[in-house]
Amino acid sequence: MTVSIKTLRIAVAGLILLVAGIVAATWESEATRVRKVFASVERNLHKEGSENPVATALRAKRLTETLAPSARITIPELGFDVAMNPDRIQREALYVLGSADTLKVTFESLRVQVDGDSATATADVLVVGSSTEFGRGRNVRALTTRLEKDSGQWRFRSIRLDPIVK
Amino acid sequence: MDQRLARFLLPKLDRRFGLRLAATALVVFLACRFVLRPTVVSGESMAPTYSAHGFNFCRLLAFRNREPRRGEVVVLRYGGERWMLLKRILAFPGETVEFRNGVLHVDGAPLDEPYVQYPSDWNSPPKTVPEGWIFVMGDNRSMPMETHVGGCIARSRLIGKPLW
pLDDT tens figures, A65-80: 899 888 899 999 888 8
In chain B, residues with a C-beta closer than 8 Å to the C-beta of A166 are 151-153
Overall size of chain A counted in residues: 166
Contact A164 B157 (CB under 8 A): yes
- Report CB contact under 8 Å: A164, B136: no
DSSP string, A147-165: EEEETTEEEEEEEEEE-S-
CB-nearest to A126 from B79, B151, B153 is B79
pLDDT recorded at residue A1? 62
For chain A, say whether B92 makes contact (Cβ under 8 Å): no
Asked if residue A29 has pLDDT above 90, the reply is no
If you average pLDDT over residues B56-71, what whole number do you get? 92
Mean pLDDT across the stretch A3-22?
85
Closest CA relative to residue B116, chosen from B130, B128, B133, B101: B101
Residues A154 and A34 sit within 8 Å (Cβ to Cβ): yes
Let me know: does B96 contact B127? Beta carbons within 8 Å: yes
Q: Search chain A and give the residue with CA nearest B156.
A: A164
User: What single letter denotes the amino acid at residue B66?
Assistant: R
Summarised one tens digit per residue, pLDDT across range B10-60 is: 777 888 889 999 999 999 999 998 999 998 888 888 989 998 888 999 999
Arithmetic mean of pLDDT over chain A: 88
pTM check: above 0.80: no
Question: Is the Cβ of B78 closer than 8 Å to some Cβ of chain A?
Answer: yes
pLDDT tens, position by position, B126-143 = 999 999 999 999 999 998
Q: Is the pLDDT of residue B107 over 90?
A: yes
Instruction: Give the closest-approach CA distance of B150 to chain A in angstroms.
Output: 6
What backbone phi and psi angles, to 5 degrees, belong to A5? -60, -40
Gap from B86 CA to chain A (nearest CA, Å): 13
Computed over every residue of chain B, the mean pLDDT equals 91
All residues of chain B having their beta carbon less than 8 Å from the beta carbon of residue A106 are 80
Write the residue in A109, A126, A166 that is nearest to B77 by C-beta. A109
Q: Which whole-number Å values give the CA distances from A152 to A4, A38, A149, in the listed order?
A: 47, 16, 6
- Whether the predicted pLDDT of A9 surpasses 70: yes
Q: Do A108 and B157 touch (CB under 8 A)?
A: no
Confidence (pLDDT) at B12: 79
pLDDT band at B1 (very low <50, low <70, confident <90, very high): low
Give the mean pLDDT of A4-29. 83
